Amino acid sequence: DKRRMETRVFTLYYISAEEAKNLITPVVSEAGSIEATQAPEVGISSGDDLSVQEGGNSMSLHDAIVMKDYPENITEAETLIKQLDVKPLQVLIEATILAATLTEGLELGVDLNFAGGVAIEGTSDSGGTQDSVLGGVLEGSETAGLTPIGQVANWGSSGSPIEVAGFAAAGGNGLRLGVRAGDISAFISALETVTDVTILANPKILALNKQVGTVFIGQNLGYRSSTTVSGSGVASSGEVKFLKSGTKLSFRPYISSDGNIRMDIYPKDSSATKDTDGVPTETTAELTSNIMVKDGETIVIGGLFRDSVTSSKSQVPLLGDIPVLGELFKGTDDSSVRQEVIILLTPHIIENTAELDGDARAADVERKRLGARKGLHWAGVGRLSEDSYTKAVGLYSAGDSTGALRELNWTLNLRPTYLEALRLRERIVRETSGQDAEVIERIMLGAIEREESQNWIRQ
């Protein structure tokens, strides 16, 4: 009897209307019907244009389904909806990315010259003598350059020029020692470098079950992709592109009933630089994995240990092989680079947002803010106003409202927009004298503005 049919509206809070409709369709009778509200727009704009309209015509109320059927079918559907429309769990991911690079280098070399310190590198052309009357260079005043063999052939000093060069880094840092004795000169360079770089990133992100969560902390390094030259020889600059470098964490969790969490995870830590031509180079540590981990446990999901040793030696044949004395005829350039990358992951199933301990995190932020302000110069307005406000709070806590009010006036003289100081001053005024002229004035101005705003309402 269709006269027994009823109509019921089910409001949904966590599950979508379309999904609920599909799940309760099996309990709808042949004579019954069910309709769902339109699916809302999903996602947000990733561009920089704030005028982007997304979801402008979507219903702002909760999703709902309207069911018309017999009472027993509606009751069965209601039972199903109560079991399905439940608050989903969330997962808080805490990742630790440690990247350490240890670079060790050693450069040692000796250059010798047995000809009064003159290097056998040839000579360059001389510009000649300038003609002050007619301009230019006087004819015959130029001196042509000599090749190394020509330099030896035109040698006018006593002795034979002998040079052992190319082993000492003349332009480098470290020890650089020059020695000369008669016609013998020597240059010795020695440099040992040790560079230890450690990068520690600790991103945290909260996401719903089965939903993607992504966090990125870093910079966008801009560069031009290319420069093109047309057939007429006109050069045009290429498109400006950006390379993201920093710390990125993307994941999608799947929570099971036994406390385990399966996750698609993608952590990345990178740094980028540009060379002299403007071409970017990226150094990165990243991995993609699908893992299973217990709630609250920390696991290592990736590790890289890389050790690169390079030993380069150059020497004069035979002479460089002589024990001890051969060190005068050789150069050494050794380097050792050790890289270590470790990625740790700790997931936490969150049933209640109170478990996130947001108040404690906010207190930590406030501590850091106060610590940063303490680092300001003592003579700056920011530091002086902070110290003055702190003193006023101390006076107020000790019961000296008059002294606190006097100190607050000085604070606001330094920073008229100091919100905390304004609030404390109004509080002291209300406690001591009931109302203050400034408080009354602010209240009256607000009332007048509300009255005047009615005139702007279009009739």
Average pLDDT, the chain: 78
Taking only the tens place, the pLDDT of each residue in 292-325 is 999 988 888 766 677 888 888 888 888 888 888 8
Taking only the tens place, the pLDDT of each residue in 392-414 is 999 999 989 889 988 998 998 88
Domains of the chain from N-terminus onward: 6-43+60-86 (3.30.1370.120), 89-116+174-224+238-357 (no CATH), 371-456 (1.25.40)
- Token readout for 313 is 């030696």
For residues 275 and 127, what is the distance between their CA atoms, to the nearest angstrom? 36
Residue 243 · residue 282 · CB < 8 Å: yes
CA torsion 405→409→415→416, rounded to 10°? 100
For residues 52 and 411, what is the distance between their CA atoms, to the nearest angstrom? 43
* Residue given tokens 């003609």 in the structure block: 131
Residue 75 confidence class, pLDDT cut points 50, 70, 90: very high
More confident residue, 55 or 202: 202
For residues 13 and 9, what is the distance between their CA atoms, to the nearest angstrom? 13
Taking only the tens place, the pLDDT of each residue in 157-189 is 555 567 777 777 766 667 777 777 767 777 778
Please compute the mean of the pLDDT values over residues 26-37 and round it to a whole number: 92
pLDDT above 50: residue 225: yes
Q: Which of 44-48, 204-208, 305-309, 336-340 has the highest mean pLDDT?
A: 204-208
Q: Considering only CA atoms, give the Rg of the chain.
A: 39
Portion of the chain with pLDDT greater than 70, in percent: 70
Model's pTM, two decimal places?
Answer: 0.57
pLDDT above 90: residue 255: yes
If we measure between CA atoms, which residue out of 219, 291, 207 comes closest to residue 250?
A: 207
Residue 11 confidence class, pLDDT cut points 50, 70, 90: very high
- Half-sphere exposure of residue 459, counting CA atoms within 13 Å on the CB side? 1
More confident residue, 361 or 315: 315
Triad 63, 69, 72: Cα angle to 5°: 105
- Token readout for 280 is 């970017």
